[in-house]
Amino acid sequence: MNPVAFLRHVDWGNVRDVALVQTGPAHRLPQVLARLRAEFPSASIQAVVEEDGAAVLPTDGIAVAVARPGRRLDLLRELRRRRFDLVVIQFDDQPMAELGRLAFLLRARSMLAFNQNLDHFPVNVHRAATISQHFGGDGRGGSALVFLLVRRFLSATVVSPATTAWLAAKAAWRRARGPRPRAAVLAARRRGAPRG
């Protein structure tokens, strides 16, 4: 998601394309889906779930993509070709499921979260106090929560890929230039070549 999405309000009247990502228990997915259908009756819904989520979701009227461990990168590429109006995630008192990172990498205008009571709220800086209350806070820690969410998002989507790209580029550059002279001398000594 574009970091600007965390500044936008949800455009409730213009939601046409929704991605429902399983980031919590599978047994709550049908209830979340029912709430989404009631809130956005004309929207097309793409569910991205794990195996257990696919077993409990009805397949009528929605597209279901199962995120298998070996195919998640391909699935992410396929989903990023689309632009969703809304990404829906589950917030629980438990750590976010493995597909949580995938939800933040989709192209979307806004994000909506459902808690364990099926209350839903936008995930943006304007609702930081409400999000804090959903996690048992007093509503005053909203700015700290937004900071933690943005830091985690930037770490997962910017810092880690940038570090990986830097290391890959550095390794490719070293392979392209060949071994360093000292390394070549040491390698020759290990092979038993005469010193020259």
pLDDT higher than 80, residue 137: no
Confidence band, pLDDT 50/70/90 cuts, at residue 103: confident
Query: Higher confidence at residue 23 or residue 191?
Result: 23
Spatial distance between the Cα atoms of 188 and 179, rounded to a whole number of angstroms:
12
pLDDT at position 34? 92
Spatial distance between the Cα atoms of 51 and 1, rounded to a whole number of angstroms:
24
Spatial distance between the Cα atoms of 95 and 102, rounded to a whole number of angstroms:
15
pLDDT higher than 60, residue 97: yes
Average pLDDT, the chain: 77
pLDDT at position 7? 59
pLDDT higher than 60, residue 166: yes
CA distances 49 to 56, 85, 97, 144, 157, Å, are 10, 19, 10, 30, 20
pLDDT higher than 80, residue 134: no
Query: Three-class SS of residue 190?
Result: helix
What's the CATH code, domain 3-156? 3.40.50
Confidence band, pLDDT 50/70/90 cuts, at residue 32: very high
pLDDT higher than 60, residue 145: no
CB atoms within 10 A of CB 164: 10
pLDDT in tens, 11-30: 778 889 999 999 888 889 99
What one-character-per-residue DSSP string does 95-120 give? PPPTTHHHHHHS-EEEEEEE-TT--E
Query: Higher confidence at residue 180 or residue 58?
Result: 58
Tokens found for residue 184: 């070549």
Q: Is-contact 88 109, C-beta < 8 A? A: no
pLDDT in tens, 50-75: 888 888 988 788 889 998 888 888 89
Residue 74 CB-density burial (10 A; 0-12 exposed, 13-18 middle, 19+ buried): exposed
Least confident of 15-24, 36-45, 71-80, 89-98: 89-98
Spatial distance between the Cα atoms of 107 and 79, rounded to a whole number of angstroms:
8
- Domain positions in the chain: 3-156
The predicted model scores a pTM of 0.64
